């Protein structure tokens, strides 16, 4: 079985998966859209439940960015269906995104989601993929730490902003301690531009300039 962690900037591996919404082909079925695929250790576990509720509460925020959500764990599809029913009946949240039933662990192996030092369940992996099927961001969290879904939403917004404007995104954007909601423009590539930027109000130095969008 092919295994390993994929690389940023590479094509997302082709796969056909069984989900709570039927069979899907990735990344083909998401062509033209951003998507965020995330794994959780197991259904009917407390931390995973809090994450699914948090993802669902931000479902429309991701939709507004043209970003689809897809969950995954090494559970059978009937377990996913029953768990989703439990969440709706007991917590009042209807999970609207598909969940991959990777009961044979093939997808988890292909994406490096199982880390032997952390047991046989999937860790909390996150893959953000762009409309061209290119893997843009990866996060890996241990089973004992739930994810900050607002940070994942910020990551999608940041990458889209970077792509659309040819800029870099500072730490904590859009609330950076130095430049607020500004973005960072590419460094000067020649001496002339470097001199033009020196001493301007939107530059700390010729290599560190920013602007409002």
Q: How far apart are the first and last CA of the chain?
A: 46
**Catalytic positions, please?**
48
What pLDDT band is residue 187 in, cutting at 50, 70 and 90?
Answer: confident
Counting Cβ atoms within 10 Å, is residue 90 exposed (0-12), middle (13-18) or buried (19+)?
exposed
Average pLDDT over the chain, rounded to an integer: 95
Helix (H, G, I), strand (E, B) or coil at 9: coil
Q: Which of 51, 111, 105 is nearest to 76 (CA)?
A: 105
C-alpha torsion sign, points 7, 8, 14, 15: positive
pLDDT at 10 exceeding the cut of 70: yes
Distance CA(77)–CA(108), nearest Å, equals: 15
Check: pTM over 0.85? Answer yes or no: yes
CATH 3.40.50.300 fits 166-213, yes or no: no
Give 77-129 pLDDT, tens digit per residue. 999 999 999 999 999 999 999 999 999 999 999 999 999 999 999 999 999 99
Q: Domain map of the chain by residue range?
A: 15-147, 166-213
Q: Which two tokens stand for residue 131?
A: 């409309």
| Fold classified for 15-147 | Glutaredoxin (3.40.30)
Q: How high is the pLDDT of residue 98?
A: 98
């Amino acid at each position: 079985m092919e295994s390993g962690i994929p690389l940023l900037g590479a094509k997302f591996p082709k796969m056909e998966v069984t989900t709570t919404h039927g069979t899907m082909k990735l990344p083909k079925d998401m062509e033209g859209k951003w998507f965020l695929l995330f794994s959780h250790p197991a259904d009917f576990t407390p931390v995973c439940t809090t994450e699914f509720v948090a993802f669902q509460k931000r479902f429309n925020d991701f939709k507004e960015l043209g970003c689809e959500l897809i969950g995954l764990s090494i559970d059978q599809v009937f377990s996913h269906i029953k768990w989703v029913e439990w969440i709706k009946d007991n917590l009042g949240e209807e999970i609207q995104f598909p969940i991959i039933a990777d009961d044979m662990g093939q997808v988890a192996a292909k994406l490096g989601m199982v880390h032997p030092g952390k047991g046989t369940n999937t860790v909390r992996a996150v893959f953000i993929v762009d409309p061209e099927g290119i893997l843009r961001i990866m996060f890996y969290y241990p089973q004992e730490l739930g994810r900050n879904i607002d940070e994942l939403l910020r990551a999608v917004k940041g990458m889209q902003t970077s792509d659309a404007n040819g800029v870099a995104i500072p730490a904590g954007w859009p609330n950076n301690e130095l430049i607020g909601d500004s973005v960072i423009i590419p460094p000067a590539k020649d001496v002339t531009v470097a001199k033009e930027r020196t001493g301007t109000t939107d530059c700390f130095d010729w290599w560190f300039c920013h602007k409002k969008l």
